[in-house]
């Protein structure tokens, strides 16, 4: 079973994704609160995460640059942990373009748009 840290600002979405991942039987999910204390980093270290799934938005604590910095810290502290970003390409096409650029430059391992189905997201994360 793979350990995954879920750092999603929207509580309802975060809870739904955590439940979906757990129900798949393939993941042991851990929730990390989105705030200025970079809890995704500490959660990844604490559970020796295989994957971290972080939402990117325009808000101060979930913006792209902050998430990329968290990803760099996680890579240093938890080698082998896959850095995955989730963004809404319809609401924030500018963020979506920047996330694609982060993938192309190797700063993240994968990204997904929030418009995908839960089943697809679980399968794609499992395939990482």
Residue of 9, 25, 55 lying closest to 123 (CA atoms): 25
**CA-to-CA distance for 3 and 101, rounded, in angstroms?**
26
- Confidence grade of residue 37 (pLDDT, cut at 50, 70, 90): low
The DSSP output letter for 9 is S
Per residue in 44-88, pLDDT (tens digit) is 999 999 999 999 999 888 999 999 999 999 999 999 999 999 999
CB distance 64 to 95 below 8 Å: yes
Provide mean pLDDT across the span 99-121. 96
Element (H, E) at 79: none
Give me the sign of the Cα torsion angle 62, 67, 73, 78: positive
The more confident residue out of 116 and 10 is 116
The structure's pTM equals 0.94
Structure confidence at residue 9 (pLDDT): 87
- pLDDT at res. 36: 66
């Amino acid at each position: 079973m793979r350990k995954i840290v879920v750092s999603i600002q929207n509580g309802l979405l975060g809870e739904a994704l955590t439940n979906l991942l757990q129900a798949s039987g393939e993941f042991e999910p851990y929730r990390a609160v989105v705030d200025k204390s970079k809890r995704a980093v500490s959660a990844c270290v604490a559970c020796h995460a295989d994957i971290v799934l972080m939402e990117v938005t325009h808000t101060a604590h979930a913006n792209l640059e902050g998430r990329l910095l968290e990803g760099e810290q996680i890579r240093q502290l938890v080698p082998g942990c896959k850095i995955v970003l989730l963004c809404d390409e319809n609401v924030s096409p500018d963020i979506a373009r920047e996330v694609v650029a982060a993938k192309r430059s190797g700063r993240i391992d994968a990204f997904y748009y929030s418009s995908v189905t839960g089943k697809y997201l679980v399968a794609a994360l499992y395939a990482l």
